[in-house]
Chain A
Amino acid sequence: QKEVEQDPGPLSVPEGAIVSLNCTYSNSAFQYFMWYRQYSRKGPELLMYTYSSGNKEDGRFTAQVDKSSKYISLFIRDSQPSDSATYLCAMISNFGNEKLTFGTGTRLTIIP
């Protein structure tokens, strides 16, 4: 079993819809949770960063972490065609462990 599970999709939604992306994980030591966006032929770009459980909002993006369920989510409101990309969840344990553990990524397409 992988440490981080993520539905690879692909996921296609109409422009303006709310998108929900999710990851589950098995390592209870993970404390820091990130979402990266990766456009085709580009490296990952940090989108959201959350420490421990809770919600964090940044514009149209909201990240949620539920450590009791080992479940994290990214919501995109008012989705735009420019949001079409692969979304990767990533996580690390406490300071001292510098390895990012990624999910497989979800390929998202926003249909105009």
Chain B
Amino acid sequence: ETGVTQSPTHLIKTRGQQVTLRCSSQSGHNTVSWYQQALGQGPQFIFQYYREEENGRGNFPPRFSGLQFPNYSSELNVNALELDDSALYLCASSLATSSYGYTFGSGTRLTVV
């Protein structure tokens, strides 16, 4: 049984650019959530996808968008990058829309310069 895998592990972008982060959910899981973890802070909920539809969104602007594919993998897209977007982006998968069953990936460390 594979866990949650995220790619890339690290990347550096310039302010104003766009970035796409990818996540493969744990086998058998059909729900994916994305969290942003700034340095020294707890993860903040960005949004969740269930059966390819957005199923809840946190307090993030529309330039944060996502997709879920039929195989339950997911993408997080961020447009017009700002310096404050520098953070660890975590993907978590679960079997249903119940939060306590989340399995987190190791994250993508995004640095915006």
A interface residue numbers (CB < 8 A to B): 4, 6, 8, 32, 34, 36, 41-46, 49, 88, 90, 92, 95, 97-105
CB distance from B27 to the nearest CB of A (A): 17
> Of B4, B33, B40, B107, which one neighbours A8 at CB under 8 angstroms?
B40
> Of A32, A88, A98, which one neighbours B42 at CB under 8 angstroms?
A88
Chain A residue nearest in CB terms to B107? A43
Chain A residue nearest in CB terms to B55? A98
How far is A41 from B31 in the complex, measured between Cα atoms in Å?
A: 24
Chain B residue nearest in CB terms to A8? B40
User: Are B98's CB and A98's CB within 8 A?
Assistant: yes
| Interchain pairs with CB closer than 8 A, number | 62
How far is A38 from B11 in the complex, measured between Cα atoms in Å?
A: 21
A-B contact pairs, 20 of them (CB 8 A): A34-B100, A41-B106, A42-B106, A43-B4, A44-B43, A44-B90, A44-B104, A46-B102, A46-B103, A98-B33, A98-B48, A98-B98, A98-B99, A99-B48, A99-B56, A99-B58, A100-B43, A100-B102, A104-B41, A105-B40
User: Is residue B97 within 8 Å, beta carbon to beta carbon, of the partner chain?
Assistant: yes
Chain A residue nearest in CB terms to B94? A98
B interface residue numbers (CB < 8 A to A): 4, 31, 33, 35, 40-45, 48, 55-56, 58, 90, 92, 97-100, 102-107
Q: Ordered nearest first, which 10 A-B pairs have the shortest CB separation?
A: A102-B42, A43-B104, A99-B45, A92-B99, A43-B106, A104-B42, A44-B104, A98-B97, A100-B99, A102-B43
User: Are A49's CB and B58's CB within 8 A?
Assistant: no
Residues from chain A with a CB closer than 8 A to the CB of B107 are 42-43
User: Are A49's CB and B100's CB within 8 A?
Assistant: yes
How far is A43 from B90 in the complex, measured between Cα atoms in Å?
A: 7
Q: A32-B100, A92-B99, A99-B58 are in contact. Are A104 and B106 (CB under 8 A)?
A: no
Chain B residue nearest in CB terms to A33? B100
Residues from chain B with a CB closer than 8 A to the CB of A49 are 100
| Most chain A beta-carbon contacts within 10 A, residue among B44, B104, B105 | B104
CB distance from A30 to the nearest CB of B (A): 11
